[in-house]
């Protein structure tokens, strides 16, 4: 039996709803997509041709506002996919206590086939359509980057929005993932990859879970395969490597490369930029059929590209003991069942990749407060730390080493606060989900435990609104 992406999300939701005690009507409301905006608009391309662009914005839930979620540019975009992704955003935000409802946007284009000028025209026109229908705004719906989009597109969105809404004092908060110069926050770019790393590290530090998987605790020495060398995959590979894991393979759509001694993601990224492919990268073995790379021997598999890449067909061949879903929806429900049967731990997308939206929340708060993180307290903290250290040195008669002095006296910069907020968020969410799973041993997998966590939070906030008993 095959399901559409939205049906898969509904199926996972129903599986988890079974472990909760909420009213059926309330569960149906939580599951439903509240607003679906499907649009078509014309754009004149560089060669003079007029193309009709198909695009969407879905607001899955307004139990908290604004709605939040990225915009993807991909030829595969369709309404079902955007609905599924918007739903995942609701659950994701709930789990990590980010006070937003879920949303998602998509434009059905292949960004590689358009010039920068065409992409700018498409993005600006899309934003104008959202403004016309009141589907964007710092208190309504706040887009962000997703597959195929990044800082550049977010800069076009905020610029278009502000030009249509002059004088809106909090207007910069209409979109996140912006360049720093346009109101972005330090640390947003690497946030999803770093959040994935924090989440997987937390699980790897749980001795009981690792014992069950037959793995040693800790990240060090673990063999990792990453699918995707986009923003998320690149940063996942970087943080795993920097913390002592060995990234043995990296897969992209044109093929994959394997090296048992490890691959440096930055060198591979530069190589691909220069040659247009990951293949024939120095010292590595080519894997021509990219998806074969997922089946190589490793401890941790990180799909960081698109949905439905692991299904009932390839799941039985996968050798990883841990699958960390950096992408949204990379596993089908059949794959989930196969992994639960094999005792493979799947760390689910809807919280594992929440680092992006968590730091988007920090960016939005920065935009509303109109001040950079750390601006008020950095110097004060440094002066205070200096005084405390001096006092300790005087009382003990001992001197701190220059390295320790630097560390202790340092007052927080924006990046320090953002990274620490993200680390705290990912650790707490991992522990909360694991606790639910341990307290309900009949829950079959971590995804279901994560859904139970999300459903409880969204349902509670609905009942607090007084709409449901
Ligand atoms: N597109 C990212 C996601 O799927 C980030 C969303 C956001 O920052 O709003 O979680």
- Residue-wise pLDDT for 181-239, tens only, equals 999 999 999 999 999 999 999 999 999 999 999 999 999 999 999 999 999 999 999 99
Residue range 139-153: average pLDDT?
97
- Cβ count near 205 (within 10 Å): 14
407 exposure class (CB count in 10 Å sphere: 0-12, 13-18, 19+): exposed
Ligand 1 shell residues, CB under 6 Å:
68-70, 144, 146, 176, 328, 353, 356-357, 360
Q: Are strands 50-59 and 67-68 parallel, antiparallel or unpaired?
A: unpaired
pLDDT digits (tens, 9 = 90+) for 382-425: 999 999 999 999 999 999 999 999 999 999 999 999 999 999 99
Of 208, 105, 87, 142, nearest to 451 (Cα)?
Answer: 87
Distance from the CA of 27 to the center of ligand 1, in angstroms?
24
Active site residue 104: yes
Q: Which residue has 């009949």 as its token pair?
A: 442
Distance from the CA of 366 to the center of ligand 1, in angstroms?
17
Please tell me the pTM assigned to this model.
0.95
pLDDT over 90 at 440, yes or no = yes
Distance from the CA of 95 to the center of ligand 1, in angstroms?
14
Q: Which of 59, 71, 89 to mutate to test the pocket of ligand 1 (most atoms within 8 A of CB)?
A: 89
Of 391, 72, 366, 361, nearest to 231 (Cα)?
Answer: 72
The predicted structure's pLDDT at residue 463? 85
pLDDT digits (tens, 9 = 90+) for 326-367: 998 899 989 999 999 999 999 999 999 999 999 999 999 999
Ranges assigned E (strand) in 74-229: 101-107, 141-142, 223-227
pLDDT digits (tens, 9 = 90+) for 59-78: 999 999 999 999 999 999 99
The active-site residue, picked from 15, 104, 189, 366, is 104
Instruction: Report the top-level CATH class of 33-182.
Output: alpha beta
Q: Which of 5, 57, 67, 69 to mutate to test the pocket of ligand 1 (most atoms within 8 A of CB)?
A: 69
Distance from the CA of 372 to the center of ligand 1, in angstroms?
21
Task: Give the atom of ligand 1 at the shortest distance from the alpha carbon of 142.
Answer: 9
| Percent of the chain with pLDDT strictly greater than 90 | 96
Using 50, 70 and 90 to split pLDDT, how confident is the model at 468? Answer: low
Per the DSSP assignment, residues forming a β-bridge with 102 are 68
Q: Which of 68, 103, 146 to mutate to test the pocket of ligand 1 (most atoms within 8 A of CB)?
A: 146
**166/178 Cα distance (integer angstroms):** 19
Using 50, 70 and 90 to split pLDDT, how confident is the model at 467? Answer: low
- Which residue's CA lies nearest to atom 8 of ligand 1? 357
Task: Give the atom of ligand 1 at the shortest distance from the alpha carbon of 88.
Answer: 4
Same fold for the domain at 33-182 and the one at 185-377+412-469?
A: yes
The distance between the two most distant Cα atoms of the chain, rounded to a whole number of Å, is: 79
CA dihedral sign of residues 462, 464, 465, 466: positive
> For 185-377+412-469, which CATH superfamily applies?
NAD(P)-binding Rossmann-like Domain (3.40.50.720)
Distance from the CA of 58 to the center of ligand 1, in angstroms?
13
| Percent of the chain with pLDDT strictly greater than 70 | 99
The dihedral formed by the CA atoms of 457, 323, 105 and 138, expressed in degrees to the nearest 10: 50
Task: Give the atom of ligand 1 at the shortest distance from the alpha carbon of 354.
Answer: 10
Between the CA of residue 78 and those of 74, 85, 144, 431, what are the distances in Å? 9, 11, 18, 35
Task: Give the atom of ligand 1 at the shortest distance from the alpha carbon of 145.
Answer: 1
Q: Domain residues of the chain, as ranges? A: 33-182, 185-377+412-469
pLDDT over 70 at 173, yes or no = yes
Q: Which residue has 């320790």 as its token pair?
A: 404
Distance from the CA of 177 to the center of ligand 1, in angstroms?
9
């Amino acid at each position: 039996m095959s399901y559409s992406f939205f049906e898969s999300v509904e199926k996972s939701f129903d599986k988890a709803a079974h472990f909760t005690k909420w009213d059926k009507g309330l569960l149906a409301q939580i599951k439903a997509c509240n607003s679906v905006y499907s649009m078509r608009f014309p754009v004149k391309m560089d060669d003079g041709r007029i193309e009709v662009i198909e695009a969407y914005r879905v607001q899955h839930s307004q139990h908290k506002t604004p709605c939040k979620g990225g915009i993807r540019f991909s030829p595969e975009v369709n309404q079902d996919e955007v609905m599924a992704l918007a739903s995942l955003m609701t659950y994701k935000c709930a789990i990590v206590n980010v006070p937003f409802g879920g949303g998602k946007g998509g434009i059905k284009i292949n960004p590689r086939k358009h010039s920068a000028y065409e992409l700018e025209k498409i993005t600006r026109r899309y934003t104008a359509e959202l403004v016309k229908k009141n589907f964007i705004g710092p208190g309504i719906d706040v887009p962000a980057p997703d597959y195929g989009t990044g800082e550049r597109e977010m800069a076009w969105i905020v610029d278009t929005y502000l030009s249509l809404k002059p004088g809106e004092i909090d207007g910069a908060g209409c979109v996140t993932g912006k360049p720093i110069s346009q109101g972005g926050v330090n640390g947003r770019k690497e946030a999803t990859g770093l959040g994935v790393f924090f989440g997987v590290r937390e699980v790897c530090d749980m001795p009981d879970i690792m014992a069950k998987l037959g793995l040693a605790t800790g990240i060090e020495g673990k063999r990792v395969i990453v699918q995707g060398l986009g923003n998320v995959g690149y940063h996942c590979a970087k943080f795993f490597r920097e913390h002592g894991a060995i990234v043995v393979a990296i897969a992209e759509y044109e093929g994959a490369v394997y090296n048992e001694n490890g691959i440096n993601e930055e060198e591979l990224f530069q190589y691909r930029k220069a040659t247009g492919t990951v293949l024939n990268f120095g010292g590595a073995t080519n894997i021509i059929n990219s998806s074969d790379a997922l089946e190589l021997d490793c401890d941790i598999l990180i799909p960081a590209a698109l949905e439905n890449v692991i299904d009932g067909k390839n799941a039985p061949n996968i050798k990883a003991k841990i699958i960390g879903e950096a992408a949204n929806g990379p596993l089908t429900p059949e794959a989930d069942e196969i992994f639960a049967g094999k005792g493979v731990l799947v760390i689910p997308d809807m919280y594992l990749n929440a680092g992006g939206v968590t730091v988007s929340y920090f960016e939005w708060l920065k935009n509303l407060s109109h001040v950079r993180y750390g601006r008020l307290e950095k110097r004060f903290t440094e002066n205070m730390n200096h005084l405390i250290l001096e006092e300790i040195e005087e009382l003990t008669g001992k001197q701190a080493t220059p390295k320790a002095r630097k560390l202790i006296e340092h007052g927080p910069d924006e990046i320090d606060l953002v990274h620490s907020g993200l680390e705290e968020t990912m650790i707490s969410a991992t522990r909360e989900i694991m606790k639910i799973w341990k307290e309900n041993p009949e829950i079959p997998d971590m995804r279901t435990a994560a859904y139970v966590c999300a459903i409880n939070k969204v349902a509670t906030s609905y009942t607090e609104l007084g709409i449901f008993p």
